[in-house]
Amino acid sequence: MSNPFFETWTTPFGLPPFDRIQAEHFPPAFDHGMAENIAEIAAITGNSDAPTFANTIEAMERSGRFLNRVGGVFWNLNSSNTTDALETIARDYAPKFAQHSMRIALDPALFARVAELYERRGTLDLAPDQLRLLERQHLGFVRSGALLPPDAKARMTAITERLATLHTLFGQNVLHDEKDWQLVLEESDLAGLPDFARNAAAQAAKERGQEGKYVITLARSSVEPFLTFSARRDLRQVAYEAWIRRGEHEGEHDNRPLIREIVALRTEQAKLMGYASYADFKLDDSMAKDTSAVEWLLLQVWGPAKEKAAAERAELQDCARAEGMNEPIAPWDWRYYAEKVRQAKYDIDEAEVKPYFVLENMVRAAFDTAGRLFGLTFTERPDLPVYHPDVRVYEVTEKDGRHVGIFLHDNFARSSKRSGAWMSSYRDQENFDGAVSPIIVNNNNFSKGEPTLLSFDDAETLFHEFGHFLHGCLSNVRYPSQSGTSVRRDFVELPSQIYEHWLAVPETLSTYARHHQTGEPIPQDLLRRLLAARNFNQGFGTVEYTAAALLDLEFHTRSDAADTDVAAFERSVLDKIGMPAEIAVRHRPTHFQHLFAGSGYAAGYYAYLWAEVLDADGFEAFLETGNPFDPDLAAKLKTIYSSGDTRDPMELYTAFRGREPRIEALLKHRGLTQSLGDA
């Protein structure tokens, strides 16, 4: 039987030959890739020559290519289009990969060579990107435990392996609950739902073999519109309660015991490394640098956000009372009455707006913005291989036709895809041993329709992920480990979040927000009202996000994390910070994938707000010029997108902005300025 991973791919641009790749091809390819990688490392440590940058650091950059290629395909498919077979392989291999990477990170002979180079780094005559690579590789070894005594190293490896398994199980449990649950409705249950929500529910029913009925699922793109529009308070409550209970029920898919173990292991890991808590350990290698900087930022917005939410709640309660609903606003009422108040206050109706946000046109808007700012052109290539018929493929070129990369756009929700929206890569850009161009994917979870219509928030998500795509695609670095988005976690959301601003530029909306039936551009009056309404409900949005970030920090700043009762801990944190009863935290612990389906955003959920300080302040620079497409500023911004991790993030930012970031633009953008004095 032939295995495509052991062949040279002849597909255009080196795209994976998706049509030929089967689940059973992965295990032998993984085994081979790990063995080959170990042999490559042994060749470096076995070199009798004294360590040099070339024979050690560059040789490491050259290692693991086979494994990376297989892993790139596997982890992407497992997220976007998984099967039982792929899930089984993910569970089997997660601890093996963790063990593999720890074996390299804790290899004493390898570290000895890196450490020697690090000591002599000032005399090696390195270019700036090489010096940073050496410093960061050295730090990576240290933070994996390379300086620890042997028994502590062994424990670090065991913890890392166990965490890999727990992270995988956590994510699979959330996906299970989202797949498993459905609210099947009849025509008579749809009171209040506008056409787009009915169509999406009909489509979801069809996909689940319930033709003629309507299905609400626990995907955010399905349940949020239902909570916003359904006039049936009883059904809203049913959907809401299922939504916030994902991962929280007795039985084999319960995420509570997993969280207990994950948090305890992370605390132990931090202590082995000499830190008081996991957050201290994590933040030591971030742009924020320490817990107090993060706390300061979160508390800057928490007080004003709660005040704004309280004022919003009063308006919702008035609105509910006027409609004869005399009970206090419950969490499953908030979105519903917020939409009514929004309609009344700004004379704006989500169902009136949505017909102007056709997916196809919003994609075009994202492409054309990248054309104006950075000179990119997108050409659809339906001839190229894909892993699912819904995926669209584009070749990205410079204006002069030079190939830049490949973009895969996977926009629709399906039961084989994990929830949320994300960017990732099948291949990263590098120029080390010849130019390698990137292959980047964006995943969204939009409800498919005929045509697919987006909310303004959905369109923002599309632009957000597209900003991450640009970070991967515009990357112009020498070494693979410095490519694209491999920057500090609290800097990685800057390129994505700043890109969202170009959606709300009036010029973008009046050009691309066109009615799906008439093709008419969005009326100026509606556009004006839409933009005016953007600060509306920001108290709610800021509260649900900031509470989640504070909860993350509390989970990871404890110095004794044994035996956490997850629900009681969540409750005590929310009580302590004075969480409004009508608002739920944006991600409850049992489905907080940022924290527990991996460690990337653990003690790092604040990163979105941290980056928002940068993106609001950064976009303000364009507003100051009076031209949101100012070419000089766009050229400076492009440097942030193309530098990967070759430079310090604060240095990159100040080179673009001409000064360090300030918080004022963020507060203004979220409409939190007026109440700041009371905070």
Q: What SS3 class is residue 22?
A: coil
Q: Where are the beta strands (DSSP E) in 491-598?
A: none
Return the number of the residue (496 or 542) whose C-beta is nearest Zn ion. 496
Return the number of the residue (79 or 496) whose C-beta is nearest Zn ion. 496
What contacts 432, CB < 8 A, 6 or more positions away? Answer: 58, 61, 62, 478, 479, 480
Give phi and psi for 529, each to the nearest 5: -70, -40
The site string for Zn ion over 518-547 (x = CB under 5 A, - otherwise) reads: ------------------------------
Question: How remote is the C-alpha of 431 from its chain's centroid?
Answer: 26
What contacts 632, CB < 8 A, 6 or more positions away? Answer: none
Return the number of the residue (447 or 496) whose C-beta is nearest Zn ion. 496
Separation of alpha carbons 172 and 253, rounded Å: 8
The binder of Zn ion chosen from 160, 496, 642, 646 (CB under 5 A): 496
217 is an interface residue for Zn ion by CB under 5 A: no
**Shortest approach of Zn ion to residue 22 CB, angstroms?**
32
- With CB under 5 A as the contact rule, which of the stretches 496-504, 547-555, 589-597, 646-654 interacts with Zn ion? 496-504
Beta bridge partners of 415: none
The site string for Zn ion over 466-495 (x = CB under 5 A, - otherwise) reads: ---------------------------x--
Q: What SS3 class is residue 424?
A: strand
Residue with tokens 């509606």: 526
Give phi and psi for 426, each to the nearest 5: -90, -25
**Shortest approach of Zn ion to residue 444 CB, angstroms?**
12
Q: What SS3 class is residue 407?
A: strand
Return the number of the residue (312 or 493) whose C-beta is nearest Zn ion. 493
For the chain, the distance separating the N- and C-terminal CA atoms, rounded to the nearest angstrom, is 67
Return the number of the residue (220 or 342) whose C-beta is nearest Zn ion. 220
Angle between helix axes 631-642 and 649-657 (nearest 10 degrees) is 170
- Residue at shortest CB range from Zn ion: 496
**Shortest approach of Zn ion to residue 137 CB, angstroms?**
26
Closest CA to 475 of 649, 653, 646: 646
Return the number of the residue (173 or 496) whose C-beta is nearest Zn ion. 496
In eight-state DSSP terms, residue 51 is P
Return the number of the residue (160 or 424) whose C-beta is nearest Zn ion. 424
CB atoms within 10 A of CB 195: 12
CA separation, residue 599 to residues 163, 330, 577 (Å):
9, 33, 25
**Shortest approach of Zn ion to residue 604 CB, angstroms?**
12
Catalytic residue among 161, 395, 465, 582: 465
CA separation, residue 394 to residues 36, 74, 504, 513, 616 (Å):
33, 21, 24, 22, 30
CB of 461 within 8 A of CB of 443?
no
**Shortest approach of Zn ion to residue 461 CB, angstroms?**
9
**Shortest approach of Zn ion to residue 464 CB, angstroms?**
6
Beta bridge partners of 424: 441
Return the number of the residue (490 or 493) whose C-beta is nearest Zn ion. 493
CB of 403 within 8 A of CB of 397?
yes
Q: What SS3 class is residue 289?
A: coil
Return the number of the residue (280 or 493) whose C-beta is nearest Zn ion. 493
Separation of alpha carbons 315 and 620, rounded Å: 31
**Shortest approach of Zn ion to residue 640 CB, angstroms?**
15
CB of 117 within 8 A of CB of 44?
no
Return the number of the residue (113 or 594) whose C-beta is nearest Zn ion. 594
Element spanning 235, H or E: helix 233-244
CB atoms within 10 A of CB 464: 25
How many residues sit in the footprint of Zn ion (CB under 5 A)? Answer: 2
Separation of alpha carbons 411 and 266, rounded Å: 34
CB of 191 within 8 A of CB of 129?
no
Separation of alpha carbons 466 and 367, rounded Å: 9
Q: What SS3 class is residue 395?
A: strand
Return the number of the residue (203 or 425) whose C-beta is nearest Zn ion. 425
CA separation, residue 137 to residues 39, 114, 568 (Å):
20, 8, 40
Return the number of the residue (203 or 485) whose C-beta is nearest Zn ion. 485
465 catalytic per annotation:
yes
Q: What SS3 class is residue 639?
A: helix
Length in residues, the chain: 679
CA separation, residue 331 to residues 3, 228, 231, 342, 355 (Å):
52, 11, 15, 17, 28
Separation of alpha carbons 495 and 502, rounded Å: 12
**Binding footprint of Zn ion on the chain (CB under 5 A):** 493, 496
Active site residues: 465
